[in-house]
């Protein structure tokens, strides 16, 4: 995500028009039933949209936008959907499509995949096995890149903390914990601002209402100015 965010911030793909994010687990049906069928387990009590922070937070972080409206669609034919697709209109006018929870095709990059299409190009996580899953594909058509096609892979730099390399699978968690520690001990700004975290969570609340009311669009409360 950080590599894609740098490309977006640097104007490498122009203005963001469509951004997609997956956070999925390719579990066997029996394993899904064991997690969600127990009313004493939190997964057995929450709505399918409630876990959307893992997809909406990267979307808001990369775009710097706020969610305006969400439409949630169930995935699958079961009585209780185990996966959802949410279409969220952002304050910039861009559209975010996010897929979450139990779907096949779990990516190796910590269960997450991100794709951003701009007015001048595409940047997306590679759908590849192993360490390649953390690399990013950048593509600009000839008209947007000096008359020549650019289609290349950017490999992110490895994270170093306290003189030690951090495994890519743990890098995201390590960055969050490090940022939290600096906020507590040094007063540094939090890595995820409070309003952005609340906004991502409210998409899940509005999405649950959309899902319950036949996938109609539902406005997301505006917390940007709170």
- Complete DSSP assignment for 109-156: TTTEEEEEEETTEEEEE---SGGGGG-EEEEE-GGGTTTS-EEEEEPP
| Residue 197 belongs to domain spanning | 2-158+193-212
CB 73 within 8 Å of CB 86: yes
- Within 13 Å, how many C-alpha atoms sit on residue 21's CB side? 22
Q: What is the pLDDT of residues 11-70, one digit of tens each?
A: 999 999 999 999 999 999 898 888 888 888 887 888 889 889 999 999 999 999 999 999
CB 39 within 8 Å of CB 45: yes
Six-digit token pair at 101?
A: 């929870």
| Residue range 210-221: mean pLDDT, rounded | 96
Answer whether residue 223 is part of any domain: no
Answer whether residue 48 is part of any domain: yes
Answer whether residue 163 is part of any domain: no
CA 39 to chain centre: 27
Answer whether residue 135 is part of any domain: yes
Answer whether residue 77 is part of any domain: yes
Predicted TM-score (pTM) above 0.85: yes
- Bridge partners (DSSP) listed for residue 22: 99, 113
Q: What is the CATH number of the domain that holds 43?
A: 3.30.360.10
Answer whether residue 166 is part of any domain: no
Q: What is the pLDDT of residues 59-86, one digit of tens each?
A: 999 999 999 999 999 998 777 788 999 9
Number of domains in the chain: 1
Answer whether residue 218 is part of any domain: no
Answer whether residue 93 is part of any domain: yes
């Amino acid at each position: 995500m950080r590599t894609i965010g740098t490309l977006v911030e640097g104007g490498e793909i122009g203005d963001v028009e469509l951004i997609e994010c997956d956070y999925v687990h390719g579990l066997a049906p029996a394993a899904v039933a064991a997690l969600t069928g127990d009313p004493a387990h939190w997964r057995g009590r929450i709505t399918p949209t409630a876990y959307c922070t893992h997809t909406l937070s990267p979307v808001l972080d990369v775009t710097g936008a706020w969610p305006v409206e969400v439409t949630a669609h169930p995935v699958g034919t079961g009585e209780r959907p185990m996966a959802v697709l949410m279409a969220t209109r952002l304050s910039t006018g861009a559209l975010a499509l996010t897929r979450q929870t139990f779907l096949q095709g779990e990516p190796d990059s910590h269960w997450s995949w991100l794709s951003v299409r701009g007015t001048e190009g595409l940047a997306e996580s590679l759908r590849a096995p192993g360490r390649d899953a953390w690399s990013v594909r950048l593509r600009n058509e000839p008209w947007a890149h000096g008359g020549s096609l650019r289609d290349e892979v950017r490999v992110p730099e490895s994270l170093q903390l306290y003189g030690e390399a951090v495994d890519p699978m743990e890098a995201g968690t390590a960055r969050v914990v490090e940022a939290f520690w600096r906020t507590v001990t040094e007063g540094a700004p939090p890595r995820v601002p409070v309003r952005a975290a609340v906004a991502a969570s409210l998409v899940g609340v509005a999405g649950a209402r959309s899902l319950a009311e036949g996938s109609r669009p539902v406005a997301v409360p505006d917390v940007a100015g709170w």
